[in-house]
């Protein structure tokens, strides 16, 4: 399962950073595995932060903004 995430991180790195100028197989090589996993983790944090911010400020969950905790 971790190989899938390493390949997915390499794919997103290839699209967002390299702009598809290199070979995808080079970006998904075993030597770049840690970088790809780190990049995928970074993307997950960014996306989750955007989603939480959107839900918080759009008042879709009024209990979150009323301070009912």
Q: Apex CA 26: angle with CA 25 and CA 29, to 5°?
A: 85
Distance from CA of residue 14 to its chain's centroid?
Answer: 13
The tally of domains found in the chain comes to 1
Write out the residue range of the structural domain in which residue 55 sits: 2-65
Cβ–Cβ < 8 Å for 24, 14: yes
Q: What mean pLDDT comes out for the span 9-21?
A: 91
State the Cα–Cα distance between residues 52 and 10, nearest whole angstrom.
25
User: Confidence band (pLDDT; 50, 70, 90) for 56?
Assistant: confident
CA 33 to chain CA centroid, Å, is: 15
Give the pLDDT confidence of 21-48 residue by residue, as tens digits.
Answer: 999 899 889 999 999 999 999 999 999 9
Structure-token pair, residue 21? 């100028």
């Amino acid at each position: 399962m971790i190989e899938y995430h390493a390949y997915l991180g390499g794919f997103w790195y290839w699209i967002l950073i390299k702009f598809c100028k290199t070979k995808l197989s080079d970006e998904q090589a075993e030597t770049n595995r840690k970088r790809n996993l780190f990049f995928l983790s970074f993307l997950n944090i960014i996306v989750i932060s955007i989603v939480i911010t959107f839900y918080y400020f759009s008042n879709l969950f009024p209990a979150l903004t009323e301070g009912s905790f």
